[in-house]
Amino acid sequence: WKKAQESIRKFVDKNDQKFHFAELTTTGQWKILWESTFGYFDNPDAAPIHKDCLSVVRILSRDKTYLDQCITTEKFNCLLNAANIGPQNGIFTSRVVIEALKCLCNLVFNSKKCQEMCLSNTSTEGIIGRIRFPKENEVEYEIQYFDMKLLFLITALNPQVRKKVRDEGMMYLMEKVQMIMKENQDCDAFFDKQVDLLGEILKVLFNLTVPSDGPIPSEDEQEKHFRTLTGILRDLFMRRATSKEKQQDLWSNCVNLLTSVPTEYFTELTPECDEGFEGRDMSVIDTLLEFLRLRLETKQKVSAQNECLSPILTALVKCVRSSSCLRRYVRSQVLPPLRDVRRRPEDGTELRNYLCRHLTTPALQVRDLVAELLFVMCKENVGRMIKYTGYGNAAGMFANRGLLGGHGNPGEGYSSDSEDSDTEEYKELQHGINPVLGCYEPKRPNIFEGMTEEQKEYEAMQLVSLMDKLQRQGIMQPGRIGPDGRPVPVDHILELQEELPQQQSDHKRKT
């Protein structure tokens, strides 16, 4: 076996960092290596090189070209057995078990056939069994980590298996999280390996709770699971990691899972207490806002904004929609009474400033979530939204919702208590605030002062000519506000003139 082991290790060392093997797949060598490597598992005498053989399978399984064609139930079960989650488990070292789990992760990720096999084989039962009986199946953290990574891939890529895992393992997964917290209760922070394992468990729980087309659990079962889950998340948000990077990893996975929790359970995040905001402990909400700030302060490419910001924004939108108490608290932190009205809403380093900047981001999902969060905090009142963001920043949202020109029924469904008392600083400069910019604008000199009527007429005609040119080139198109509160294009400038008397009448009636 020594000669075979030397050849195998040479192949592993050469290809350990490669992910595509065109030189093997085009010549037929990939299939030969695949079959010959699995041949060693049938020979008990080859046990000393099983770990190295698994390394070859791990590397070859990165290339999906022939996976569906060459993988069989027998070969997949062989790997399950090596990972000690198969139909015929043996006695294997932890290095063999870990390598087998890595192989299974690659196969499930790259092969539709392997994903389907997991509906009928022992993969999920084996993993859940290890969690269900921790004392009988005491294994090191790395094995637990790859167990969860495999279970995450199975439940992510094969929605049909989710019900089975939810019914048989969801409670044990939540108990596992509680067990890790209990192990760590005397420490100042989670160890890095604990954060990594918790992250994978939370990802599995997300797959089991996110709405899907499969069978829906009963209301009683859902309530039991979500109340337990929200309590676990509340505790996790309050725990610390050893580094800023690991802390953000932990929060990120908690937030992702929180997005799948129905709105009615969000009050579980803020238990009643003697001291706090309106008799509730807002520590978790403070953590969510801290995480939002960290995300907003991190410079991101537009292409990465959805992944980075959408989960935390979604969680906060659910928070402010869940109860008036949570809405009022988040509003007090994000939209406190205005004092600095000399700067534009998007300028500065406060949460309001960051959010206003994202009202015009090309990342549409982020833009819409930011708009919804701010609008709900303003009790869906157009005037209040303009006050805090400026009409220019919010115009896109108003257009999408049919709220241009003051259309809509602001504030319906919200408590009538006053939350918008103006500061002295705001009142002092209110007369000079430009609602489009959302800030105070010093009075400017009249540009027409000193011009003759002929000069004014000339400048007006120049402007008309430029606008006509832009329209003919398709760069801009005049529009008006339709009856539904959305912009409607007009074919000729005269259409705007015809509507002026009605618009002026409407304006007088509102003021």
Once rounded to an integer, what is the mean pLDDT over residues 330-354?
Answer: 94
205, 247 in Cβ contact below 8 A? Answer: no
pLDDT in tens, 348-393: 999 999 999 999 999 999 999 999 999 999 999 999 999 999 999 9
pLDDT in tens, 134-165: 776 678 999 999 999 999 999 999 999 999 99
pLDDT in tens, 385-440: 999 999 999 999 988 888 886 555 555 666 665 556 788 888 888 888 888 999 98
Residue among 441, 438, 309 nearest 364 (CA): 309
pLDDT in tens, 45-100: 888 899 999 999 999 999 999 999 999 999 999 999 999 999 988 788 999 999 99
Q: pLDDT band at 499, cuts 50/70/90?
A: low
Burial class (CB in 10 A: 0-12, 13-18, 19+), 180: buried
At residue 278's C-alpha, the angle toward residues 355 and 427, to 5°, is 55
> Could you tell me which residue, 413 or 31, shows the higher pLDDT?
31
Letter for the amino acid at 499?
E
Q: At residue 492, does pLDDT exceed 70?
A: no
149, 105 in Cβ contact below 8 A? Answer: yes
3-state secondary structure of 217: coil
Residues in the chain: 511
Q: Determine the pLDDT at residue 163.
A: 92
The CA–CA distances, whole Å, from 194 to 102, 190, 200, 445 equal: 19, 6, 10, 65
Q: How far is CA 79 from the centre of its chain?
A: 33
* Buried/exposed 37-62: b ≥16 CB within 10 Å, e otherwise: bbebbeeeebbebbbbbbbbbbbbbe
For residue 413, count other CB atoms closer than 10 A to its CB.
7
How many CA atoms lie within 13 Å of 99's alpha carbon, on the beta-carbon side? 19
Kindly report the average pLDDT of the chain as a whole number. Answer: 90
- Rounded Cα distance between 412 and 381, Å, is 9
Q: Determine the pLDDT at residue 510.
A: 46
> Could you tell me which residue, 90 or 37, shows the higher pLDDT?
37
Once rounded to an integer, what is the mean pLDDT over residues 233-257?
Answer: 97
Q: Determine the pLDDT at residue 161.
A: 95
pTM of the model as a whole = 0.88
Q: pLDDT band at 219, cuts 50/70/90?
A: confident
- Rounded Cα distance between 201 and 151, Å, is 9
The CA–CA distances, whole Å, from 183 to 141, 146, 149, 171, 357 equal: 13, 20, 21, 18, 43
